[in-house]
Amino acid sequence: MIGSVLGDIAGSVYEFNNIKTTDFPFFSPTCFVTDDSVMTAAVAEAILLHRQLGLELADLTVRCMRAWGNVFPDAGYGGKFHLWLSGDIEDAYYSYGNGSAMRASPCADLADSLDQALSYAQITAAVTHNHPEGIRGAKAVAGAGFLARAGEGKDGIRRFTESCGYDLSFTLDEIRPSYSFNETCQESVPQAICAFLESKDYEHAIRLAISIGGDSDTIAAITGGIAWQYYKKNDPHFCGNVRALLCAAQAFLPDSLLPLICAVDDDFLPLIVNNNP
C-alpha cells in the first residue's frame, strides 16, 4: 500500500502537467495525496474489517469508500465516481476506468493466496467498476502485486499479466513520445506494469511510470504497489534506498492515513526509524 501512496504523491503534480523524462524532483512542495491514495485506504480498511469481522466485503467496500470520500471530498474524483460517493448514483455504473486498478494494492498486500488476491480485487472493483475491463484491470494489478510479494520473478509477473489479456509487447521508450492522458484500465494498466518490469529499483519504477505522461499519479500508484513488494524482496539496498522517500513523504501524508498504512505495511515505521539498511 505504501508503495502505491508514494507513487500517487510523486505523480500528483504531473497528472495535468506531464513530464516526459525521469529527471525530476521526486517530491515537490506542491505534491499531495489524491483520490488514488484515499480510495486505496478505503479498500484496505474494508479488507481488514472483512478479515476481522467476517462481514461481506462488497458492503464494507461501499461503506468505507463513501466514508473516506466524505473525509476527503476534494481529492480529485471523477465525475460519475463523485456522484456515486454522494449516493446520487447508488449502484455500480459499468465503468472501465483505471480507478478500479489504482486502489487494488491492498488486495495483494492482505491476501493469503493468489486466488484470494484476485477475489478481493474483483469484489472491490465491482462495487463501481463492474465493466469486464474495470475488473480485469484490478485483478491484473492485484495479481501482479501478490506474485511480487510471493517472490515471483519479473518473467513470471509478465506472463501473468499477459494471461490477463494485456499486450506488453512495447517498451516505454516506444510509447513515450505519443502517449497521452487516458483514464481507462486498457490504456494505463499495461503501461504501469511495463514501468515496473523495466525498472531497476523502486524509485526508478516510479520515475519511469511518471515519465510516459498520461494519468501520472494513477500510473505511478499502480506501478508503485507492485514495485514496492518486488524490490522489498529483491533489492539488497531497498531499506536504504526508500528511507529518505518515506521520511519526505510524511510531510504530505494526512494523519488519518498513517494507522492504515502501518496496519497494512508493517515495515513502514521501521524503515523510517531504523538506520541499518
Whether residue 176 has pLDDT greater than 70: yes
Reduced 3-state DSSP string for 96-152: CECHHHHCCHHHHHCCCCHHHHHHHHHHHHHCCCCCHHHHHHHHHHHHHHHHHHHCC
pLDDT band at 197 (very low <50, low <70, confident <90, very high): very high
Confidence at residue 267, expressed as pLDDT on a 0 to 100 scale: 76
Q: How many CB atoms lie within 10 A of CB 53?
A: 9
Q: Is this prediction's pTM over 0.85?
A: yes
C-alpha dist (Å) from residue 28 to 188, 202, 220 = 24, 18, 15
CA atoms within 13 A of residue 198's CA, in its CB half-sphere: 20
Confidence at residue 274, expressed as pLDDT on a 0 to 100 scale: 54
pLDDT in tens, 46-85: 999 999 999 999 999 999 999 999 999 999 999 999 999 9
Q: Which residue has the cell 510524511?
A: 250
Span 28-35, mean pLDDT?
97
Confidence at residue 273, expressed as pLDDT on a 0 to 100 scale: 59
Whether residue 166 has pLDDT greater than 90: yes
Give Cα 115 to chain centroid, integer Å.
Answer: 19
Confidence at residue 277, expressed as pLDDT on a 0 to 100 scale: 40
pLDDT in tens, 238-274: 999 999 999 999 999 999 999 999 999 887 777 775 5
The amino acid at residue 136 is R
Strand partners, 184: 97
Whether residue 275 has pLDDT greater than 70: no
Q: Rounded to an integer, what distance in angstroms lies between the CA atom of residue 48 and that of residue 42?
A: 10
Confidence at residue 81, expressed as pLDDT on a 0 to 100 scale: 96
Confidence at residue 251, expressed as pLDDT on a 0 to 100 scale: 93
Whether residue 94 has pLDDT greater than 80: yes
Confidence at residue 266, expressed as pLDDT on a 0 to 100 scale: 80
Whether residue 276 has pLDDT greater than 50: no
107 touches 124 (CB < 8 A): yes
Helix (H, G, I), strand (E, B) or coil at 185: coil
pLDDT-wise least confident of 131-145, 148-162, 190-204, 244-258: 244-258
